[in-house]
Amino acid sequence: MIIDCHGHYTTEPDKLHAFRDRQLSALADPSRRPTAANIGIGDDEIRQSLEGAQLKIQRERGTDVTIFSPRASGMAHHVGTAEISREWTRICNDLIHRVCTLYPRNFVGVCQLPQHPGVSPANCIEELERCVNELGFIGCNLNPDPSGGYWTDPPMTDRWWYPFYEKMVELDVPAMVHVSSCCNPNFHATGSHYINGDTTAFMQFLTSKLFKDFPSLKFIIPHGGGAVPYHWGRYRGIAQDMKLPPLAEHLLGNVFFDTCVYHQPGIDLLTKVIPIDNILFASEMVGAVRGIDPETKHHYDDTRRYIDQVAALSPENRGKIFEGNARKVFARLDAYLDRRSKL
């Protein structure tokens, strides 16, 4: 089985975007505020949005199941108010649940969280519990920078985040560290802000004792870990200078990396530098990079092709990347796949 741990619903029906436009317009004129009941997205519209995109790509590339969440850039935690974020988050998560209900053999849900700058992450606990306990989701996306590029909240290792981590541990779910859209004009959203977020989160983890406080807490850092694999020697040296344990002991029981790296040399580097047990297959298909690479004539985000072409990978290690590691990190995934097999 090939499990893609990083997929977003980037082909949502237009009615969702129309609702969002009305929701944000109501910030200036509350009388125009829509209700979730007015969205009116039918099951056939959901099917149409997926059949020619994610489902088609799954079939073409030979992947089996995608761990699926709302559009990352659409979370936009810095927009509006905490109340708006809560309403928008619930709507987006409910839509993911409908996708997973219509296509239980293809998708399993991961939730967006109702974060907002300056609002305690404890505010997200209720939605996480709802999504895990009621909707059957197996994880969440956690934004380390709800301000959208200005980093106004405390680092992810601050006790500010601890109530939410306690709930993650209790529910036994991991979080993918994933920023959203950026309002700071210095940063391109997907080209720099996303990679900044990945790299910054790793450095925060490195310089803390977070995992002594939460030994079973698990994070996936997407996009191949940002700059981390390329500068692994730098981080090893910083940890050494700070008298911290070696990275394998200090972080790698808790921090994992995905394969959303869109060229062969990058995947080769990732699999050479990062221990195989810490790499999860992912593509973020129909995501930030959708085009065809003129050098290879294949889509940039066809990451299965890159893994298949890493000559140094044994069949056992390739199986860990494609399936085994996802089952290990997402503790609730096995039960979901077992239910799926009985449908």
Q: Which residues are catalytic?
A: 284
Q: What angle do CA 94, 197, 97 make, to 5 degrees?
A: 10
The CA distance from 207 to 209, in Å, is 7
What separation in angstroms does the CA of 187 have from each of 90, 112, 193, 201? 28, 23, 6, 17
Secondary-structure percent of the chain, ordered helix, strand, coil, rounded to 5: 50, 10, 40
Q: Considering Cα of 272, then 275, then 277, then 281, what sign does the dihedral take?
A: negative
Helix (H) or strand (E) holding 249: helix 247-250
Nearest to 256, CA basis, from 281, 239, 236: 281
| Residue 8 C-beta-side C-alpha neighbours within 13 Å | 19
Query: Read out DSSP for 9-59?
Result: E-S--HHHHHHHHHHHHTTT-GGG---GGG----HHHHHHHHHTTHHHHHH
Over the Cα atoms of the chain, what is R_g? 19
Asked if 260 and 219 touch (Cβ cutoff 8 Å), the reply is: no
Residue at 204: amino acid letter: Q
Q: What three-state secondary structure class fits 195?
A: helix
